[in-house]
A = this chain, B = another copy of it.
Amino acid sequence: MSETLRQFKAGIFQALAHPTRIAIVETLREGELSAGAIIEKLALEQANVSQHLAVLRTRHIVISRKEGNQVFYTVRDPLLIEVLDIMRSYFQAHIEESVTMLQEFEQMDNTESAKQ
């Protein structure tokens, strides 16, 4: 497989590699929502959500449609939702280890801060 294709794939994964962006995609699971509605549902900063939406747009994970004042977003391909669903079963299948793993990451974070 070409390096170009691998870069493309990495870009898609990268676009999904943030909890907030995953939250956005899952919020859009039921269908179209305005940026404002997403912000409200997630209870996050407007600028922050907008930045994450920009990442998802650039990677064509979502499509945006402007209507008057608002911008409506949809997930472009349902396949992505399917992927997220599979990952949930994966998580559940390995729940014990998954929690341990996340705890280890937190532990690392604490160790880092402790150094200061």
Contacts and interface: CB of A to CB of B under 8 A. Distances in A.
A91 B12 CA distance: 9
Contact of A18 (B10, B58, B79, B90): B10
B90 A59 contact: no
Interface in A24-72: 26, 58-60
Interface residues of A, number: 45
25 contacts: A1-B26, A5-B88, A5-B91, A6-B23, A8-B101, A9-B16, A9-B22, A9-B91, A10-B17, A10-B18, A11-B101, A12-B91, A13-B14, A13-B16, A13-B22, A14-B17, A17-B17, A59-B101, A60-B94, A77-B90, A77-B94, A79-B86, A79-B89, A79-B93, A80-B90
